[in-house]
Amino acid sequence: MPRIRLWLATAALGISGCGGPFPQSTLHPRSDFARATDVLFTDIFWWAAAVFVVVYESTGSQLRTQIDRDLSGDAAQLSQSLSPLTGRSSAVVSAAASTGPIQSR
């Protein structure tokens, strides 16, 4: 029961904060202070977006290089593991590739 009261009080405060004779809106700032805040927010947003793009480009290229290197190593290892099966049917090669290396006990 106390949680319901807390949610109702929160909803009432949220709704009452949206009402009144004040024509302010987050999307349409009308006072000088609201415009300054909007300009500041917009500038920070675009600078953050630019930093994200630069960092993503750098990190993404490093990540792509690492993934390509790992995949080429895995492909070489798979090719080496399957080389004794040369000449066998595709079902045998597929089964060997899907089961992986045989573990010895």
Average model confidence (pLDDT) for the chain? 78
The ranges assigned to domains in the chain are: 49-76
Q: How many CA atoms lie within 13 A of 14 on its CB side?
A: 6
Task: Tell me how far apart the alpha carbons of residues 79 and 86 are, in angstroms, rounded to a whole number.
Answer: 10
What 3-state DSSP class applies to 94? helix
Highest-pLDDT range among 52-61, 66-75, 95-104: 52-61
> What separation in angstroms does the CA of 43 have from each of 1, 38, 47, 95?
45, 9, 6, 58
Tell me what the mean pLDDT of segment 53-65 comes to: 83
DSSP code for 84: G
Residue 29 CA to residue 23 CA, distance in Å, equals 9
For residue range 64-89, list pLDDT tens digits in order: 888 888 777 777 777 777 677 777 77
- pTM confidence score: 0.42
